[in-house]
Chain A
Amino acid sequence: NAGVTQTPKFQVLKTGQSMTLQCAQDMNHNSMYWYRQDPGMGLRLIYYSASEGTTDKGEVPNGYNVSRLNKREFSLRLESAAPSQTSVYFCASSEFKGDSSGNTIYFGEGSWLTVV
């Protein structure tokens, strides 16, 4: 049981390049998330997918797109990378939405992205 797996772990991009961060979870969770973490700003939600087939913008969606490929996989794409997108990206999942006690979020190990 690997939990949440994301790749790549490290990536350096040139401004204007595109790339996709991959994420998969093996916990049969309905909801998946992409966050970015920047110093002094905590975690900010980029996009989320409440359930398979749906995606919604979070707090900072500009410059990103997502695809919920199936229940397990949720990818994040940077179409034209900018230095402001240098950050640590975390994929996460949770069992279901709502206020139930099952809504603990589980995180992947992070992807360190540098845009030069």
Chain B
Amino acid sequence: AQSVSQHNHHVILSEAASLELGCNYSYGGTVNLFWYVQYPGQHLQLLLKYFSGDPLVKGIKGFEAEFIKSKFSFNLRKPSVQWSDTAEYFCAVNGGDSNYQLIWGAGTKLIIKP
């Protein structure tokens, strides 16, 4: 069965620091990869997604993620975070036997200190 691992459950950064949130998945076939964000008190929103093509994907609000197939990773990055990036970030994968169902990571809570 597929699984998704997000290594950091809590991350605390100062404004303007660089961000990288790790995401690894366990399936070896073709996958679709997603990052969702949940701001405090709000529902989940799509941040970015990868289906095919350029493995470096750019999303909203300056976020990007790089798909590295050999490492089964899809890490989320942002060069300079803002206080408004405080949120919980979820990595998700679908592919193979879960086809259209998403397999979710446990989430990473990001707190940005002003």
Q: Give 15 new A-B contacts, CB below 8 A, not counting A31-B100, A42-B105, A96-B100.
A: A33-B101, A40-B9, A42-B107, A43-B102, A94-B100, A97-B99, A99-B32, A99-B51, A99-B94, A99-B95, A103-B100, A107-B36, A107-B44, A107-B45, A109-B43
Given contacts A43-B90, A99-B30, contact A107 B100 (CB under 8 A): no
* Cα–Cα distance between A36 and B95 once the two chains are bound (Å): 21
In the complex, residue of chain B having the shortest beta-carbon distance to the beta carbon of A101: B51
Interface residues of A (CB under 8 A from B): 31, 33, 40-45, 48, 50, 58, 90, 94, 96-101, 103-110
CB within 8 A of B100: which of A50, A90, A109?
Answer: A50
CB within 8 A of B90: which of A31, A42, A100, A103?
Answer: A42
* Cα–Cα distance between A109 and B49 once the two chains are bound (Å): 21
B12 interface residue (CB < 8 Å to A) = no
B74 interface residue (CB < 8 Å to A) = no
Would A108 and B32 count as touching, CB distance under 8 A?
no
* Residues of chain B within 8 A of A43, CB atoms compared: 44, 90, 92, 102, 104
Given contacts A42-B106, A90-B44, A107-B43, contact A99 B100 (CB under 8 A): yes
* Residues of chain B within 8 A of A33, CB atoms compared: 101
How many chain B residues touch A (CB < 8 A): the figure is 26
* Residues of chain A within 8 A of B92, CB atoms compared: 43
B46 interface residue (CB < 8 Å to A) = yes
Would B90 and A98 count as touching, CB distance under 8 A?
no
* Residues of chain B within 8 A of A45, CB atoms compared: 101-102
* Residues of chain A within 8 A of B94, CB atoms compared: 99, 103
Q: List 23 A-B contacts (CB under 8 A).
A: A40-B9, A40-B107, A41-B106, A42-B90, A42-B107, A48-B101, A96-B100, A97-B100, A98-B100, A99-B99, A99-B100, A101-B51, A101-B52, A103-B100, A104-B34, A104-B46, A104-B49, A105-B46, A106-B46, A107-B43, A109-B42, A109-B43, A110-B43
